[in-house]
Chain A
Amino acid sequence: DAGVTQSPTHLIKTRGQQVTLRCSPKSGHDTVSWYQQALGQGPQFIFQYYEEEERQRGNFPDRFSGHQFPNYSSELNVNALLLGDSALYLCASSRLDRNTGELFFGEGSRLTVL
């Protein structure tokens, strides 16, 4: 049973560019959440997708957007990259009908903005 998979694992961009990160949830999961983890910090909630719609959003600007596909996979897009966007981006999946708070995380995509 594959867990949560993310791609790419590492990438380098320059300021002003745009990036797309991808996530496949654990088999049987229908909800995908994205978190940003800055160096030395805990993960911060960006947003959550269910049934291809954004259900909740954290305190992140509109430059951060996402999408969920019919197969439950998801993308995170960040436009007009800033140096401060450098971080580990984590995808987490869960089942909405099992509202326990237990999330399954991928290993993350490390973004460096130069």
Chain B
Amino acid sequence: GDSVTQMEGPVTLSEEACLTINCTYTATGYPSLFWYVQYPGEGLQLLLKATKADDKGSNKGFEATYRKETTSFHLEKGSVQVSDSAVYFCALSGASGGYNKLIFGAGTRLAVHP
């Protein structure tokens, strides 16, 4: 079945360091890919998305490129801030389950220190 695998955390970085969180997927068809973020005490919220191969999603300095050849959607940021500390989830939809059903990875916790 469809699945998402992302790197285990926690990831601990100093402020202004570069971030990469790896995400790979297995899916039939042509899924859309997402990064959701869960800040402490808040609900999951969409960070960015890409709907077809080679699309780049970007938001708040984060970006990720839909790579069909490597079935990957890695999240990157050039300079992280303390406020980026959160749990990040890679997800897909639109494969075998319809577009409004998301399949999530296990999440990667990011801690950024001053």
Residues of A within 8 A of B (CB): 3-4, 31, 33, 35, 40-45, 48, 56, 58, 90, 92, 94, 96, 99-108
What is the CB-to-nearest-CB distance from B75 to chain A, in angstroms, rounded to a whole number?
14
Report whether over half of chain B's contact residues are helix, strand or loop; otherwise say mixed.
loop
What is the CB-to-nearest-CB distance from A94 to chain B, in angstroms, rounded to a whole number?
5
**Which B residues, 59 to 114, have Cβ-Cβ distances below 8 Å to chain A?**
89, 91, 93-94, 97-107
B34 contacts which chain A residues (CB < 8 A)? Answer: 101-102
A106 contacts which chain B residues (CB < 8 A)? Answer: 43
**B43 near A101: Cβ-Cβ < 8 Å:** no
- Residue of A45, A96, A108 touching B103 (CB-CB under 8 A): A45
Q: A41-B106, A99-B100 are in contact. List 6 more A-B contacts (CB 8 A).
A: A42-B105, A43-B89, A48-B100, A90-B44, A96-B100, A101-B49
What is the CB-to-nearest-CB distance from A87 to chain B, in angstroms, rounded to a whole number?
13
Pairs A–B under 8 Å by Cβ, sample size 28 = A35-B102, A40-B106, A42-B105, A42-B107, A43-B44, A43-B89, A43-B102, A44-B104, A45-B97, A45-B101, A56-B97, A90-B43, A90-B44, A92-B102, A94-B100, A96-B100, A99-B98, A100-B49, A101-B32, A101-B49, A101-B100, A101-B102, A102-B46, A102-B49, A103-B100, A105-B43, A105-B44, A108-B43
**A48 near B44: Cβ-Cβ < 8 Å:** no
Q: How far is the CA of A48 from the CA of B37 in the complex (A)?
A: 22
Residues of B within 8 A of A (CB): 4, 32, 34, 36, 41-46, 49, 51, 89, 91, 93-94, 97-107
Q: Which of A40, A96, A101, A105 has most chain B Cβ within 10 Å?
A: A101
